[in-house]
Amino acid sequence: MSNISVAIGADHGGYGLKTDLLPFLNQLGIKVLDLGACTYDSADDYPDFALAVARKVACGQTDRGIIICGSGVGACITANKIKGVRAGLCHDVYSAHQGVEHDDMNVLCLGARVIGIEVAKEIITAFLNARFTGEERHKRRLEKLLQAEKEG
């Protein structure tokens, strides 16, 4: 897992969980690019952080992304607006690894008001350890998704 680079960002709703997760991510030995929020600001907006993370993943500057807001929903919707990003909202371990294995998910969205630190650690570990299977059926489905993205 130490070869993976991850961009992480959170608005005020996810700030506390992100801050608590940073030492854990560093312990995993992965390269972490923290895109904020750097301080708690109740007036900040999740799209700013979601877009920053999504753009780093889309351009290849990082392998994966993690975005945290209150529910994870707004961050997920926003991240998926960026071409090349396949963001999934995951509040369980199965979805976190299956999303990568079957759908080549590259951005994990979490809701800090939905899950706690220990569950978040398990989900992140599953997400970061997972790899796209490359099975024919998964590649076929991914190609259809990429074609839809291209067509708009």
Q: List residues with catalytic annotation.
A: 69, 102
- Round to whole Å and give the CA distance between 8 and 56: 10
Burial class (CB in 10 A: 0-12, 13-18, 19+), 126: buried
Beta-sheet strands, E only, within the chain: 5-10, 31-34, 64-69, 87-89, 107-111
What 8-state DSSP symbol labels residue 29? T
Reported as type and span, the H/E element at residue 14 is helix 12-27
